[in-house]
Amino acid sequence: MTSTKIESSRPAPEQIEHLSPVAARMMLAAFPEHIQAAFQRRAQEINYPVEAVLEMAIAGFLDREALSFVDCQPRY
């Protein structure tokens, strides 16, 4: 009898702590075009991936001192 390894569906630790590129693309697609363009421009301006810019925007909205989900401490 051979054993079959079952792949875990849990995301990798870095995906738990940060917004994934796939999730960022899905979110961006839901925004109006001018908001999508603004996120893309800002990402290019600061030389960060767009998922990092989205994460910073969300984290900063929930916790003014947060730069990412890692240090975000929402008070709501």
Domain annotation covers residue 55: yes
Q: Which domain holds residue 23?
A: 17-62
Residue 10 in any domain: the answer is no
Q: In b/e form, how buried is each residue of 14-26, taking b as 16+ CB within 10 angstroms? A: eeeebbeeeebee
Distance CA 54, CA 48 (A): 10
pLDDT one digit per residue (tens) for the chain, 76 residues: 555 554 545 555 555 789 999 999 999 999 999 999 999 999 999 999 999 999 999 999 999 999 999 999 998 7
Question: Is 26 a member of any domain?
Answer: yes
Q: Is residue 2 in some structural domain?
A: no
| Residue 25 lies inside a defined structural domain of this protein | yes
User: What pLDDT was estimated at residue 2?
Assistant: 52
Question: Is 69 a member of any domain?
Answer: no
Residue 27 is assigned to a structural domain of this protein: yes
pTM of the prediction?
0.75
For the chain, the domain total comes to 1
Residue 49 lies in a domain: yes
